[in-house]
Amino acid sequence: MHRRLLLSLALSLYVLGCQAQSAEPAPASPPQAVSLLEGKLKFDLPDGFDASALPAGSAEDGTAGASGQLFVNNAARQVVVVSEAPTPGGVAADDDDKVFLNGAAQGFVSQQKQASADYQPIDEDTLHTGALGLRRINAKGSFAGTPTLNTSLLAGSGSRLVVVQIVSREDDPQGHAHLVQRVLDSMPARVAALAPR
């Protein structure tokens, strides 16, 4: 399943951002525009994030059809992992499919807990950008021994599921909240959060 790709990336790629601190400083990268689900989900990242493509999924590990990008801000020590993959079982999801989002969120949290005993969900709510529903999961965790704050955004449309993972160090709650808000504020026609039902 494509979630295994996300988990392994989330657990390993955050280390890259930390290790990169020892490299020579480079000019800040320009803002990054991200478009997913054929343009139904769009957002911007502020300057300072370097983008690189994630390895394509493969049938051997159950991630066929998955693709994504990694964005690392070395100065802020923040990572954003974006992945788009086929929905589990090829199920078709409506753009604002509460049943689908409930199942996707439960599966995501379960997989995260299996991957890291330190993963602890804090709260969960539902957002909208245009007609597209988003499930937001805020959590704490520990990647490679580093305590982290994690915000994950899940969305589905048709046969595709998107997961956006925003990861910051736990000792920078203001920086994490600011980045999450920047991402959300850049989404077109976003409406207020609602508690999931």
Average pLDDT over residues 71-78: 93
pLDDT value for 104: 95
| Amino acid found at 3 | R
Q: What confidence tens digit (pLDDT) does each residue in 1-32 have?
A: 444 444 444 444 444 444 445 455 566 788 89
Report the chain's mean pLDDT, rounded to a whole number.
84
Q: What are the pLDDT digits (tens) for 19-73?
A: 445 455 566 788 899 999 999 999 999 999 999 988 877 666 666 678 899 999 9
Which phi and psi (to 5°) does residue 66 adopt?
-85, 145
Q: Structural domains in the chain?
A: 2-194 (3.40.1000.10)
pLDDT at 144: 76
Which are the contacts of 184, defined by CB distance < 8 A and separation ≥ 6? 43, 127, 190
> At residue 132, does pLDDT exceed 90?
yes
CA dihedral of residues 61, 102, 117, 165 (deg, nearest 10): 70
* Amino acid residing at 178: H
